[in-house]
Amino acid sequence: MKKIILTAILLIATFTIQAQKIQWLSFEKAIELNEKNPKPILIDIYTDWCGWCKKLDKNTYANKVIAKYINTHFYAVKLDGEGKKDITYKGHTFKFQQKGRSKYHEFAATLMEGKLSYPTTIFMTKEQKVLQNIPGYLSKERMEKILAFFTNDTYKTTDWTKFEKEFKSNL
């Protein structure tokens, strides 16, 4: 009987933990899903060597409230700013570039408007237009506000300063 109860607890804990992780997609998969069921797209641009990127994953994206919010309201994309895989989007193929010691992916550089800063969080509308480019580390508290602001077109009708003052956190 104890084994059955212990097994049940472990299974519930496993499903709970899995449900709290962000469902990261490739950019191509997010676009494919967006065309069937439109939702805004969140793109996390990172590099393997970036310490702040790792901190963002560990402290912000691992938070269960943030993860649930992102999974519910966005298609979430992890994009390696130095990735070598070609990305074709809107008829253009973006490639990995290396010039001397500098290396980057053209698509990441395009999204970041040529300012290679890691991490960078990109918000795209459900119509696949870049809405906002936010360079740097975002704490879970800051990320929660930004996510809420860009959900349900709040940004179209509400000033950021007013929104930030009135925001009620769920953390």
**Residuewise pLDDT in 10s, the chain (171 residues):** 555 444 444 444 444 444 579 999 999 999 999 999 999 999 999 999 999 999 999 999 999 999 999 999 999 999 999 999 999 999 999 999 998 888 999 999 999 999 999 999 999 999 999 999 999 999 999 999 999 999 878 999 999 999 999 999 999
Distance CA 126, CA 130 (A): 10
pLDDT in the model for residue 1: 52
Residue-range domain boundaries for the chain: 21-141
pLDDT at residue 14, as a whole number = 46
Supply the pLDDT for residue 67. Answer: 98
* The CATH number, out of the four listed (3.40.50.620, 1.20.1250.20, 3.40.30.10, 3.30.420.40), of the domain defined by the range 21-141: 3.40.30.10
- Tell me how far apart the alpha carbons of residues 110 and 15 are, in angstroms, rounded to a whole number: 38
Q: Which pLDDT score is estimated for 19? A: 52
Give the integer Cα–Cα distance in Å for 54 and 128: 27
* pLDDT score for 112: 97
Structure confidence at residue 152 (pLDDT):
79
